[in-house]
Amino acid sequence: MEPKRLNKFISDSGFCSRREADRLIEEERVTVNGKLPEAGVKVTPKDKVRIDDQLLSVRDEAPVYLVLNKLSGMSATADMGVRDNVVRAINHPASLQPIGKLDREDEGVLLLSNDSDFVRKLSKADSRLEKELVVTVNKPFSPEFISKLSEACASFEDGHPKKAVVNKESTTRFRITLEPGMNHGIKKVCEAMGYKVTFLQRVRVQHITLTKLQKGHWRTLTAAELDTLKQVAAAKPGKPAAKGRPDAKEFSPRGASGREKASFDRGGHQKPDRSAAPERGGAGKRIGKSRPAAAGPGGAKGTRGGAKGSGKGAPERGGFKGGAKKGGATRGGGSSGRSR
């Protein structure tokens, strides 16, 4: 691993941002190998970097960027003290962090990465990401509900409101597109109008969809997907960022097509995508349930739900390991529970 500037090393450890690291260094709360660091010092994982006597560590691994079709009942956190967290469940070799929020009982698109700068910047830019949700409420709603929901989630451009696009899919289910700057707190909005959300699935973030991605499975982001997300993360608040463009065959921005509607059952839950069954062959690719990585190019199994290293030999696709735990998610992903 190439030497890194001290503030970058601290940031990559997940302890804090680079700016906060600079402040800690100025306050002389950081030591390198038992000594106060000189200005501009660079360090490697072999150096012992401490903040207030807490030893930091950064694993030597290539950057990884994933999209997961999260199951209901799995917690979107990297905290190993939390039961059924997604990082342990997918068992990827890299030290992943979830990006943004998705409540335990909710399903759908969840982004993860081991690039701490990317995770932090994109998490802060979460409200600038366009999202599409499929939501089921506890009782039939009227056309007035759809109108009020659209207005309640509106954003303002040049002082003029821009309403959210809401499409009715059944008497209790709707699909809503939330553009940057809109109110993303759908559950609270529905609650304020006297409805309880019983099912929520995030089917799209920007141009990243669940197409051919079964529940509980993940894949590596494409170069185009990653580039668009980095543009959003780098954009200044208030300035429009690139949306990206999904494949026209894979995504219809005006709501669900007949085929998409057929993919949901009457309760609003997505049916299994049989077209995305595990495949065989394909150099460097793996589809289906993930297994611990073997020693060698991919590294030996680590302590954070996977293996050290994520360069050569790292899987590009996979799924939750070993199925759901008692009290956690079921095979179909249904569970009880609270998101955005």
Q: What residues are labeled active site?
A: 103
CA distance 36 to 26: 10
User: Which of 95, 35, 29 lies closest to 314 in space, CA to CA?
Assistant: 95
User: Which of 272, 124, 280 lies closest to 210 in space, CA to CA?
Assistant: 272
Residue 21 and residue 10 in contact, taking contact as beta carbons nearer than 8 Å: yes
Backbone φ, ψ for residue 126 (5° rounding)? -55, -40
CA distance 304 to 61: 13
User: In angstroms, how far is the first alpha carbon of the chain from the final one?
Assistant: 38
Residue 169 and residue 134 in contact, taking contact as beta carbons nearer than 8 Å: yes
Count the neighbouring beta carbons within 10 Å of the beta carbon of residue 99: 27
User: Which of 159, 167, 162 lies closest to 183 in space, CA to CA?
Assistant: 162
CA distance 201 to 269: 8
